[in-house]
């Protein structure tokens, strides 16, 4: 629910999948928190809480579900709140709080019927709550990862037509609109909510306590519409260093460790006390080239970098083999990903020729990186050697993990990023469309935008997917968004944990702690 994603959106994306880490200071803090967990007992003779370890977002964290850039935010939001829909593994949309939805023939009016559900304070979830939540998340000042998608709603014309029924009127036809119902940052909150210190939601757990950058504690809610959780208490604890999460799991301090990679995966495979949950190709590993700034406003240099990197070597070394090569497009294996594309093969001679034509021989390029993702630094080192062969000098500028994603929005000409599983159409709208708030390469193409608009306004599914494919092929060559690999998303659980399965981040079954059982 990068974020970015894993995200997240934007995901990031979450160490490997776009979560913000907070570096050494928080890593030290998280060690203390995990030490406080002890051996897994609750110290009071009752049932011990289920503990899940994630990378923390730092002291600016909030339980406001509409501000959910990191995976830990999405895991907390999933515990406390509900959305109208939820994503299947392939990013198709299933019903959640919504009992049904249907559009008019033009795709401009969507009628939604809500199931019978209650908030934690006993009040019913109503159409007015949905309208308030969506208005709030559509406000750019809120910072929802789904803001650009929700801003398509004409809230003046939209209305409740009953306690559990509403009509959303769109400013333009959009037959892909239901993907919004499951998006990160679209959680339903009570009408008028502005304070999230003691939040009220309709999710499977109720709030007990939360410290930004620290532990979040929840209690099972017996009256949840989808049934009570199987565990009595849930704790989401911070552990920014992968080694801290690994050791906490192996020592029994936590039951779930998010985002494992490399040597940790190999160690866990040999451990009798743990199991791996591996979702293949779940995270798009990206190199962002700012086509809106020099030198990458010259398409020859974008093409030179595309041809100059060795993707197979990057997967083998930077990802330790836990992934597969990318083809400069997001969403491999998902609905809407174009088929039949030839792989992007390395061509040193052609890349060197393009660099020379651009008058850029010996050009120094700084790429922004961070400890947010364990693969980025080795990828930067390897890319530097590969691009040296085509006449470019690449060096890495390592930024603090706690501020990385906010800083790369405005600084530098190249940066690493990750994005976890999202609907392809939403990713294109949020990350590639000209002028979109999360378009981090500065790419603008009227032709691409027109195709994207035509796709969203086309009723026939196959025609819509064909238009999306045409748009993606343009962006693949021009946008400056290089998807060099798809890495596996790997979480780990203790051997006694049941009820969780491997699932792509942002999907329904990822971090579904209300379904957990402990033997």
Closest to 419 in 3D by CA, of 63, 187, 145, 178? 145
3-state SS, 28-48, equals: HHHHHHHHHHCCCCCCCCCCC
Model pLDDT, residue 34: 54
What pLDDT was estimated at residue 368? 97
Q: Are 382 and 318 in contact (CB under 8 A)?
A: yes
The β-bridge relationship of strands 517-518 and 93-95 is: unpaired
Rounded Cα–Cα distance for residues 110 and 104 (Å): 7
Q: Is the peptide bond before 449 cis (omega within 30 degrees of 0)?
A: no
pLDDT of residue 240: 86
Domains of the chain: 47-81+203-273+495-518 (3.40.190.10), 83-188 (3.90.76.10), 281-488 (3.10.105.10)
Question: Residue 47 has what pLDDT?
Answer: 76
pLDDT at 6: 34
Q: What is the pLDDT of residues 111-147, one digit of tens each?
A: 999 999 999 999 999 999 999 999 999 999 999 989 9
Give, for all 519 residues of the chain, the pLDDT tens digit. 333 333 334 333 333 333 322 233 333 334 444 544 544 444 444 578 999 999 887 888 999 999 977 889 999 999 999 999 999 998 999 999 999 999 999 999 999 999 999 999 999 999 999 999 999 999 999 999 899 889 999 999 999 999 999 999 999 999 999 999 999 999 999 999 999 999 999 999 999 999 999 999 999 999 999 999 999 999 999 998 889 999 999 999 999 999 998 788 989 999 999 999 999 989 999 999 999 999 999 999 999 999 999 999 999 999 988 899 999 999 998 888 998 899 999 999 999 999 999 999 999 999 999 988 889 999 999 999 999 999 999 999 999 887 898 899 889 999 999 998 889 999 999 899 998 878 999 999 999 999 999 999 999 999 999 999 999 999 999 999 999 999 999 999 999 999 999 999 999 999 999 999 998
Query: Following CA atoms 73, 74, 75, 78 in sequence, which dihedral angle do they give, to the nearest 10 degrees?
Result: 130
Are 80 and 199 in contact, with CB atoms under 8 Å apart? Answer: yes
3-state helix, strand, coil in the chain (%, to 5): 30, 20, 45
Lookup: tokens for 498: 């049941």
| Spatial distance between the Cα atoms of 129 and 234, rounded to a whole number of angstroms | 26
Asked whether 391 and 347 are in contact (CB, 8 A), the reply is no
Whether the CB-CB separation of 503 and 420 falls below 8 Å is answered with: no
Whether 304 and 351 have beta carbons less than 8 Å apart is answered as yes
Looking at residue 446, its pLDDT comes to 96
Radius of gyration over every alpha carbon of the chain, rounded to an integer in angstroms: 22
Quote the pLDDT of residue 13: 33
CB 373 within 8 A of CB 418: yes
pLDDT confidence of residue 420: 87
| Cβ atoms within 10 Å, residue 299 | 14
| Distance separating alpha carbons of residues 195 and 200, to the nearest angstrom | 10
């Amino acid at each position: 629910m990068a974020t970015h994603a894993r995200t997240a959106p934007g995901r990031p994306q979450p160490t490997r999948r776009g979560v913000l880490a907070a570096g050494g200071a928080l890593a030290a803090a998280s060690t203390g928190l995990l030490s406080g967990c002890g051996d897994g007992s609750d110290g009071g003779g009752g049932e011990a809480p289920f503990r899940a370890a994630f990378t923390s977002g730092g002291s600016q964290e909030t339980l406001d579900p509409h501000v959910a850039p990191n995976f830990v935010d999405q895991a907390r939001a999933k515990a406390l709140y509900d959305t109208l829909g939820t994503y299947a593994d392939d990013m198709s949309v299933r019903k959640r709080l919504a009992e049904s939805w249907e559009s008019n023939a033009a795709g401009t009016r969507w009628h939604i019927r809500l199931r019978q559900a209650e908030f934690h304070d006993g009040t019913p979830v109503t159409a007015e709550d949905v309208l308030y939540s969506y208005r709030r998340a559509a406000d750019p000042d809120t910072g929802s990862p789904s803001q650009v998608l929700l801003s398509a709603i004409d809230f003046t014309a939209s209305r409740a037509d009953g306690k559990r029924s509403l009509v959303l009127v769109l400013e333009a036809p959009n037959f892909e609109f239901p993907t919004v119902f499951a998006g990160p940052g679209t959680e339903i909150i009570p009408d008028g909510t502005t304070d999230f210190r003691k939040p009220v939601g309709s999710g499977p757990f109720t709030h007990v306590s939360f410290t930004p950058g620290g532990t979040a504690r929840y209690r099972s809610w017996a009256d949840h519409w989808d049934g009570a959780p199987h565990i009595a208490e849930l704790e989401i604890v911070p552990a920014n260093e992968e080694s801290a999460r690994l050791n906490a799991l192996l020592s029994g301090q936590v039951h779930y460790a998010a985002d494992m990679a490399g040597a940790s995966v190999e160690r866990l495979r040999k451990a009798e006390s743990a199991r791996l949950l591996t979702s293949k190709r779940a995270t798009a590993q990206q190199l962002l080239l700012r086509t809106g700034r020099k030198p990458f406003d010259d398409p020859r240099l974008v093409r030179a970098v595309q041809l100059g990197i060795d993707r197979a070597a990057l997967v083998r070394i930077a990802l330790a083999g836990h992934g597969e090569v990318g083809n400069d497009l997001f969403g491999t294996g998902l609905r809407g990903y174009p088929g039949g594309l030839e792989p992007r093969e390395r061509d040193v001679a052609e890349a060197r020729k393009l660099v020379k034509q651009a008058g850029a021989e010996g050009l120094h390029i700084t790429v922004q990186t961070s400890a947010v993702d364990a693969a980025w630094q080795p990828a930067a080192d390897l890319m530097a050697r590969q691009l040296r062969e085509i006449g470019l000098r690449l060096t890495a500028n390592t930024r603090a993990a706690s501020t990385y994603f906010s800083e790369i929005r405005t600084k530098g000409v190249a940066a690493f990023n990750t994005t976890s599983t999202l609907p392809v159409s939403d990713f294109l709208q949020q990350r590639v469309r000209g002028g979109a708030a999360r378009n981090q390469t500065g790419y603008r193409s009227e032709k691409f935008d027109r195709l994207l608009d035509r796709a969203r306004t086309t009723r026939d599914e196959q025609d819509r997917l064909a238009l999306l494919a045409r748009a993606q092929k343009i962006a693949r060559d021009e946008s400056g968004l290089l998807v060099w690999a798809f890495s596996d998303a790997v979480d780990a659980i203790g051997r006694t944990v049941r009820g969780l399965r491997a699932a792509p981040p942002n999907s329904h079954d990822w971090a579904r702690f209300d379904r957990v059982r402990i033997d």
